[in-house]
A and B are shown apart, each in its own frame.
Chain A
C-alpha cells in the first residue's frame, strides 16, 4: 500500500498544484515533495534487507482479461532509486526559487507529475504498468522543455520526443512478444516473473531479436553512444530544472530498465550481444570524455560528462558481474546527486555573470570563496575521489568491467583520467586565474542555492565516508537480480 501511495501522492499533489495560482504553487509543491521524501524514508525504514523479492507489495487487477495488473513493490535497487528520486525532486524545486517562470502552477504541477511517473517506473512489477509509466514520464518533461526551455527548444524537444518515442514503441513490441509466450494455454500474464520465465523459454535467435527491440528504448534513454545525439542539445536548451530531472533521474530509467526488464528476460540475448553493447558503452565513455574536454559551454560540458558516466554505468551493467552491477547502482545514485549539483552551478553562473562560457569566466574564487569550496566538493565527487560518494561506485564498476575483460577495464579506466582532466580544467578556468571581465561582480550566493549546495555536499561526503547502508541494499538487490539472470 505504501508503495502505491508513493505513486498516488505526487499525482494528487500535482493535480492540486495545477489549480493553485501564483507563487503559492511552488511553496506547496516544495511541501508536497518533502512529504513524499518522508514517505519514501518510511518505506526505507519498513524495508527489511532479507533477500526476499518485492516487499511492500500492492497488487490490483487493472485489465483482468489481459493479465494487466497494477502491481508495484520494492526490491533493493528500486528502493534506492525511489529514494534518489524523492530526495532530488525537493532540491530541484528549491533550485527554481531564483528563477521566475511564467505559469508557475503548470511548471510545478508538471514536475510533480514527472515524479509520479518516475517513481512508477522504478516500482512497477508489471511489464505493462512499467511501459505506461515509462511513456508517461515523457509527457511532463516534454512540456517542461517545450514551454520553459531555451531559444531552439521547439526543434530540439521535438527531436528528443521522437527519438525516445521511437525507442519506446520498439520496446512495447518486444515486451508484447515475450508476453505472448507466457502461459501459452491459459491466461497470459504481465507479471515480471512470468515475463522472465517466458523470455528464458525463447530460442537464442528469438532472444536476440527481443534483446534489440527492448534495448533500443533503454539505449536512447540513457543514452549510449550512437543513440546519444539528442542529449547534449536537449540538456543545454531545457530549463535548469528540466535538465536536472533529465540527467539526475530520467537517465536512470534507462539503466534501471536494463537491469530489471532486459537482462533477466533475455539472458541468451545478453550472452550473444553483451560484448557489442560493452564495446559501444566503452566507446561512448572515451568519445564523450574527449568531446567534453574541448567544450567551452559549461552546461554542454556537463552534458557530455553525463554521457561518459552513463557509458561506464552501462558497461558495468552489461558485464553482468556482482561488482559491475553493484557499482552501477552506486554510481547511478552518486551521479544523480552530483549532476544535479553541477547543473545548479551552471545555473548560478549564468545568473551571477550572465555567461557559461569558460573563456569568459575566471577568478570567481577570489570573489566568493564559499562557492569555490562547495563547487570543488561536488566536482571531486563527480571525478570520484576517495571519500566522496562517486568513489565506491566507480571502483566497483571498473573492478566488474575488468573481470569481464581486461581491455574493457583498461579503456573504461581511462574515463577516470579523462574525467579528471575536463572537470579540473573547467574548475580552473571558471574559478581560478584572473577575472576576464572586471565589470562582473560575483556576489554572495542566494540562500536557497547555498542550502542546496550544502545539502548535496553533505550527501557527497557522508556517503563517501560511510556508504554501507546504501551499499548493503545495492548488494542484496544485485544478488537477487543475478539469480534471475543465471
Chain B
C-alpha cells in the first residue's frame, strides 16, 4: 500500500517539476522513488493479509505484493531505458506523470478487493496510455494508434462496467469477497444475467491482455506507438491485467468456473493459433512482437485455466510474468535502439552481429528466452505452464501450445538469422547509450540467471 502511495506522490511531483524547474532531477527522483516503493512494498510481505484500506476497497496480500514487485522492477528498468526519450521531448514532465499514473493504475489492479477499485485501476492505467500511444504528435501512425487504442479500450471498459453492473444486480455487492460468498450460498439458483456478467468481464479483461479474438487493436497500436510505450504496454500493462484476472477468476469466480472455462479455453486456442501464425508472417519487428505478446498472453491464460482444480498456485503465472517482462524489456531495448532511424523492418537487424555484437548477443538471449529454450527463464516459464496444464482435462490445449511454440521458434529465429547471417555491404555501427546498454545487459543476465536457478524465484512465489 505504501508503494502505491509513493508512486502516486511521484506522479504529482512530476507535474510540479516544470513549475519548480527541477526537470533534470526528475529521473533520479523517480528511480529512487521506485526503489523505495519496492522496498516498502516488500516490507508488507510478512504482514497480516487482512489489512485492507478505504473500507475494504484494496488489500495487498502476498499475491498482490508479488505482482506489484514485478511491475515495479519492470518499470525501474523501463525508466532507465527511456531516459533519452524524456530528454528529446518537449513535454517531458507530462510524459513522466502519465507513465507514473499508469503505474498507479497497474498497482491498483494487483490488489483490488472491490469491483469499483478494479474499474478505477483499469481506467487509471489505460487513459494515460491512450495519450502516450499518440504522443508522437506529428506521426500519423502514432495518432492512429492512440485513437484506435482509445476506441477499443473504451469498448472494453464498457463491457467491464456492464458486467460489473449485472453481477451487482444479482449479488447486490461490489465486494469481491461478498460476491464469492454469494456464489457459494446460491450455488443452485443464480439468475442467468449473473453468468452473462462474468462472461462480459472475461471479455473485457481479454481485451486488455489482447487475447484473440479481441486482439485486433494490438498489432496496429504496438506498431504505431513510440517503441518505448509499446514496451510499457507489453510488460507492465500485461502483468497488471493478469494480476487482475488471477484475482477475479481464481478467487472471485472460481465457484462458477464451469461457465467460463469453456469460453476461456476457446480464447486460448484462438490466441495461440492466430498469434503465432500471424507473427510468423510479419516483417515489422514491432508487429511481430505484438503478436508474440498475444501468444504469451495465451500461455498465461492457460495457467488460469489449469489452476481452477489445483488450489490456486500462482507461482507459475508469477514466474511467467517475470520472465516475460524482463525478456521483453531486453528485446524492446534493442529494438528501440536499432529502429531509431525509422526503419522498423526486420532488415533493420541485418548484420547487427557485426555492427554491435553486444546488442546482438542480448537480443539473441531475449529471443531464445521468448522462444522458450533452456537455460533461459522463458524455458522454465513454459515448463511451469506445461506441468500445471498436464493435470487438467484440457490436454488438447497443451498439444496445441506445443505445436504453436515450434511456430513461435520460427519467427524468433528470423531475428537471430537476420542479425548473424544477413550481411550488409556497408555495416554502420549502431550507437547505443551507455545506460541503455546497461539495462539491456542486465536484463539479459537476469533472464539467464533466473533460468539457471529458477528455484529461488519459485520459492519466493510459493505461498
Contacts and interface: CB of A to CB of B under 8 A. Distances in A.
Q: Is the interface of B mostly helix, strand, loop or mixed?
A: helix
B390 A176 contact: yes
B383 interface: yes
A427 interface: no
B452 to A, nearest CB: 9
Nearest to A177: B390
A62 B455 contact: yes
A63 B399 contact: no
A143 B455 contact: no
Interface residues of A, number: 30
A158 B410 contact: yes
B379 interface: yes
B402 interface: yes
A221 to B, nearest CB: 15
Interface string B355-377: 00000000000001000011100
Contacts of A138: 373
Contacts of B373: 135, 138-139, 165
A64 interface: yes
Interface in B388-427: 390-391, 398-399, 402-403, 405-406, 409-410, 413, 417, 420-421
Interface in A158-182: 158, 161-162, 165-166, 169-170, 172-173, 176-177, 179-180
Q: Which of B374, B383, B391 has the most CB of A within 10 A?
A: B374
Contact of B458 (A63, A143, A161, A166): A63
Q: Is the interface of A mostly helix, strand, loop or mixed?
A: helix
Contacts of B402: 166, 169-170, 172-173
A154 B375 contact: no
Interface in B281-303: none
A356 interface: no
Contacts of B391: 180
A154 B458 contact: no
Contacts of B417: 146, 154, 158
B459 interface: yes
B340 interface: no
B58 to A, nearest CB: 31
B374 A136 contact: yes
B387 interface: yes
A280 interface: no
A272 B406 CA distance: 28
A454 interface: no
A131 interface: yes
Interface in B411-462: 413, 417, 420-421, 454-455, 458-459, 462
B386 A65 contact: no
A77 to B, nearest CB: 24
Contact of A169 (B368, B405, B420, B455): B405
A159 to B, nearest CB: 10
A177 B410 CA distance: 26
A173 B386 CA distance: 7
B285 to A, nearest CB: 18
B403 to A, nearest CB: 8
A228 to B, nearest CB: 18
Contacts of B406: 162, 165-166, 169
Nearest to B384: A66
Given A173-B398, A176-B386, A65 B375 contact: no
A165 B375 CA distance: 14
Interface in A112-162: 131-132, 135-136, 138-139, 143, 146-147, 153-154, 158, 161-162
B379 A139 contact: no
Given A146-B417, A154-B417, A63 B455 contact: yes
A63 B409 contact: no
A161 B455 contact: no
A131 B374 contact: yes
A166 B399 CA distance: 11
Contact of B387 (A154, A158, A170, A180): A180
Contacts of B383: 172, 176
A63 B390 contact: no
Given A135-B374, A170-B402, A180-B390, A147 B455 contact: no
Nearest to B368: A139
Contacts of B399: 173
Contacts of B386: 172-173, 176
A376 to B, nearest CB: 39
Interface of A: 62-66, 68, 131-132, 135-136, 138-139, 143, 146-147, 153-154, 158, 161-162, 165-166, 169-170, 172-173, 176-177, 179-180
Interface of B: 368, 373-375, 379, 383, 386-387, 390-391, 398-399, 402-403, 405-406, 409-410, 413, 417, 420-421, 454-455, 458-459, 462
12 contacts: A63-B455, A65-B458, A66-B455, A135-B379, A136-B374, A138-B373, A143-B420, A165-B373, A169-B405, A172-B386, A173-B390, A173-B398
Q: 7 shortest A-B CB distances, which residue pairs?
A: A166-B406, A63-B455, A132-B374, A169-B402, A135-B374, A165-B409, A154-B421
